Each structure stands twice: as structure tokens, then as C-alpha cells.
Amino acid sequence: MPKEKFVIEGLSGKRELAGAIDVRGSKNAALPMMASAMLFSDGLNLENVPMIEDVFRMSELLSALGVLVKVKKSSVSIEARGIKETDLNEGLSKRMRASIFLIGPILARSGQVSFPHPGGCVIGGRPIDIFLENFQKMGASLEEKNGHYILKTKSKKLKGTEIFFPIQSVSATETFMMAAVLAEGKTILKNVSLEPEIVASGEFLNSCGAKIKGLGTMTLEIEGDGLLKSDSRKFKVIPDRLETGGFLILGALSAKRLLIKNCNPAHIEILIETLRKAGVNIKTSKSTIEIIEEKSASSFESVNIKTHEYPGFPTDLQAPISVFLTQTKGESVVFETIFESRLNYTEDLVKMGADITMWDPHRVMIKGPTKLKGRELEGPDIRAGLAFLIAAIVARGHSVINNIYYIDRGYERIEERLQKIGVNIKRVKSEI
């Protein structure tokens, strides 16, 4: 795959962006929904699917298992009746953390699964003990061989049980919720995550015959009842709240007037209220967010940020909001409570001119406003990659963002949508 980069001419802090920008479907909802195809006796048809690298890689993972996958514009059709393999492709699995979603459905359907340690963005420790221990609790045996984990059930069926998660984990909640749909008896999951993507996935499974109670609460009860049926219906993936949040932060910094369409403001209430507290003028409807602003970002007040599980401030919006805080007046503290290495990107913002002091791996202090200068950057992960895009747009002069594969993993052709609202951004092939 040829390497590409973004070349951006910054706005020097001016408010020049205007127009409307569309939000695509949620990556974090689409990927587990695709994995759930293993739970169906018939095909699965998803709409409003973002055409991003992670969706393409998940499609490849499923295809390697013998699953029939068809990807069209904003839609994915999956037929899992022909599953032939239970070993996850090593190369693909190590490139994306979301491969973990497949483990539960494959094990629950086939009685065994083999997989390498999942990969993905380097943003701190993401141990899989929570998966291995609890699948054993559901009756699976564990073997480690040649760098792979092998889980097997004695009777081709997982057993319903009670599981308490020591930390709220989105991937663990999704994985065990799906596995429990095909397990024998009742499974109770406690201290589960509450993210909208989980609720949407659970409601989708229930509409196809699953018996999941407690969606939106911290305890789920799932009664295993055999394979599900979609009956050829089409299911729409919910809007991506993290993409919505990134566009909102960009608009707060650089837009005269920006309408964010096809979103759900209720899913990012914490960000909307945080920006309003800083002084940003935001109007919302059921499916849109509008910013109409004449003041410069330097007139906004600083705010402190502490990331937390939903409905708290999302860790995935921590990097973009930090760029916002470099432009506000006063001092802000950003406290990252979930991942210990997720503040490393701030070193690059400092090189752009930001006044950021790292207190420890979880906390930084940001003083503003400071003028950012364009420079060459390397996208370290999906969300910091978006933060670098925002910083480059705000900055004075010319910026280059390399390694945009990470940005493409989370955002569908984002440069085309940004160009429509006035951003001077180009996608070009890298020389190396």
C-alpha cells in the first residue's frame, strides 16, 4: 500500500471555515456489529457503515474465516453460514485491536478459536487477561502455543455464568454480550460500559431475537437462545460521536458558521457543555449541531478536563480538546485517567509552539493562548492524528502530517469533507 500524507495550509488562528459537514457512521458500533454476523443463521445487512481502513480490515478478517462479505458504498453485507476457519489471521489481527470482537462470537458458535495478541494503536497497556479469564469462567480451556491463544469448549457450547468486570471495558462488554447470546443458560455481566455504541449493538441484537436485558445500565442479563435471524432487514449504524466531537472542536476554533449534520448531540453532551462553559456559542437539534461564532478562540475561558468512562469526557476526544485549550486564555489541566501513554502527542504540540507541561504520564498543564506554527508531524494513533489535523488547520503556515493510515482507520476521506468547509488540505503520496 503506497504511503500518503496530508499537506495543510493553516488559517493562522482566523475564523474562515463555513458551511456544512456530514458525520459518518460510528466505527466503534460498526465493527462489533460486523463481528456479530457469527451469531446469525442468515445474512446480515448493515447501512451507514463508514468506509474506513478498520472496516476494510474487519472484512478481510471475516473473509479469511470463510465468511462471505460484500462491501459497497456505506453498506456491508455478511453471510457467515460458510465459516470454515476458527483461527484469526495473524497479520490482520495484529494491525487492529477490534479483532478482539471476533473471539467471543467464533468461540460461541464453533466451540474453539485461535488468535494472536491483538494489535492497534499504541496508547498504553491494553491487557487481554479480562477476556482469557472470563472465557475460562464460561467453560473454555486455554492453551498458549507459538504466540497464539487457543480457547476451546468441551461441549461446543459456552456456559452462562456471572461475570464482574474489574474495570469498565467497551471491548469486553461487547465481546461477552455477543458470546452470551449463544451460550447455554443465563449470563450476567456486571460493571459493564455504558457507551451508546454498546446500547445500539444490544438493541440491534435484540431486534434479531437476542434476549438482552439492562441495556444502558451497568448490569446486563443475557439468556442464550440459539442463532439469531435478521430476516433480510437492513440495520443502520449510529452516527460517530467521536467524529462529531472532532468537527465540533474544529468549528469552535476556526469556523464563522458550521453546521454538523447527521449526528446525535445527546451522545456528546459532556463535550457540548464543556465548550459552552468555555464560551462557545453552540445550538443543537435532534440530529445537528451548529456553531455561529465571531469571537476569536483566544477570548474563550480555559477549562479543566478529566477523562472518564461514558457519560464522562471521552478519552478519544482528549487530544482534540487539548488543541482547543492551547488557544484559550488561562491555565487548564488535562487528566487522562484511562490510558497511561495517551499524552505523548503533546510533545509535538509543544514543537508547534504550545505551552504544555507534562506533570506525569496522566496529567498535563496547558497555558494559552499560544500561536501555533505549522510543521511536519507523524500521526501516532487515530485520535491524536485528528488532533494534529486540527492543530495544523489552526496554525500559521504549512504543515505535513505523515502516517495518515491511522487517520484513515477512523475517518472516511476526511480531507474531502474538510475541503468543502474551506480547509486547504491535500492528500498526496509520500516520496518514501
Helix (H, G, I), strand (E, B), or coil: what is residue 75?
strand
In angstroms, rounded to a whole number, what is the distance separating the alpha carbons of residues 49 and 53?
12
Q: How many distinct structural domains can be found in the chain?
A: 2
Q: Kindly state whether residues 197 and 302 are assigned to the same domain.
A: no
Helices vs. strands in the chain: H and E counts, helices first: 14, 23
pLDDT 10s digits, 355-408:
999 999 999 999 999 999 999 998 888 889 999 999 999 999 999 999 899 899
pLDDT band at 432 (very low <50, low <70, confident <90, very high): low
In angstroms, rounded to a whole number, what is the distance separating the alpha carbons of residues 134 and 127?
13
Q: Kindly state whether residues 288 and 385 are assigned to the same domain.
A: yes
| Containing structural domain, residue 359 | 4-24+239-429
Q: Kindly state whether residues 382 and 408 are assigned to the same domain.
A: yes
Query: Is the pLDDT at 32 greater than 60, yes or no?
Result: yes
Q: Kindly state whether residues 253 and 397 are assigned to the same domain.
A: yes
Q: Kindly state whether residues 193 and 245 are assigned to the same domain.
A: no
Give this prediction's pTM.
0.94
Who's near 245: CB < 8 A, 6+ residues apart?
268, 271, 314, 317, 320
Whether residue 208 lies in the annotated active site: no
Domain-ending residue, one of 194, 213, 236: 236
Residue 1: predicted pLDDT: 57
pLDDT band at 310 (very low <50, low <70, confident <90, very high): very high
Q: Kindly state whether residues 341 and 425 are assigned to the same domain.
A: yes
Give the relative orientation of helices 27-35 and 196-207 as an angle to the nearest 10 degrees: 40
Q: Kindly state whether residues 153 and 248 are assigned to the same domain.
A: no
pLDDT 10s digits, 185-216:
999 999 999 999 999 999 999 999 999 999 99
Residue 125: predicted pLDDT: 44
Q: Which of 2-6, 24-28, 94-98 is the least confident region?
A: 94-98
Higher model confidence: residue 90 or residue 305? Answer: 305
Q: Kindly state whether residues 169 and 184 are assigned to the same domain.
A: yes
Q: Kindly state whether residues 59 and 171 are assigned to the same domain.
A: yes
**All 3 cell numbers of residue 100?**
478482539
> Of these residues, 11, 102, 121, 390, which one is catalytic?
121
Q: Kindly state whether residues 270 and 362 are assigned to the same domain.
A: yes
Is residue 188 exposed (0-12), middle (13-18) or buried (19+ Cβ within 10 Å)? middle
Higher model confidence: residue 31 or residue 122? Answer: 31
Q: Kindly state whether residues 177 and 295 are assigned to the same domain.
A: no
CATH number at residue 325: 3.65.10.10
pLDDT band at 119 (very low <50, low <70, confident <90, very high): low
Q: Kindly state whether residues 156 and 305 are assigned to the same domain.
A: no
